[in-house]
């Protein structure tokens, strides 16, 4: 059974990521390193007390429940979560997607 993207919240997440390097560095240079400020957009798969899991893609394939580009962000690194809405007509539960093998325009 295919996943329905309308069952998931679409969000923009602002978060701070850790930074690391695997090279020799002077102590003075190493302590100058700062966190990396990031922004990610995706569908919320899990909003737990300790972590947020989002996916950038949700498969519409009928025989699979699959996501891609999933990202787990520890809640301590999350600075802001903003819910997004898609402009245009909302996808109806009755509306079916075009099968992957049927990409030719109708005459």
Q: Please write the tens of the pLDDT for every residue from 45-72.
A: 999 999 999 999 999 888 889 999 999 9
- Taking the C-alpha atoms of 42, 14, 79 and 20 in order, what is their torsion angle to the nearest 10 degrees? 110
The whole model's pTM is what?
Answer: 0.72
Domain ranges of the chain: 5-84
Whether 50 and 62 have beta carbons less than 8 Å apart is answered as no
Q: Which residues sit opposite 17 in a β-bridge?
A: 36
Whether 41 and 73 have beta carbons less than 8 Å apart is answered as no
Three-state SS at 80: strand
pLDDT (tens place) for every residue of the chain, 107 residues total: 778 888 899 999 999 998 888 889 899 988 888 888 999 999 999 999 999 999 999 998 888 899 999 999 999 999 999 999 877 655 555 555 444 444 444 54
Beta strands 36-47 and 10-17 are antiparallel
């Amino acid at each position: 059974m295919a996943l329905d993207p309308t069952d998931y919240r679409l969000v923009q997440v602002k978060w701070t990521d850790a930074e690391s390097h695997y090279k020799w560095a002077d102590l003075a240079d190493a302590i100058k390193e700062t966190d990396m400020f990031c922004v990610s957009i995706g569908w919320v798969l899990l909003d737990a007390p300790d972590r947020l899991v989002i996916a950038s893609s949700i498969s519409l394939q009928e025989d699979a429940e699959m996501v891609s580009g999933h990202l787990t962000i520890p809640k301590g690194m999350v600075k802001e979560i903003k819910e997004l809405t898609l402009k245009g007509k909302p996808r109806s539960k009755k509306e079916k997607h075009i099968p992957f093998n049927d990409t030719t325009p109708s005459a």
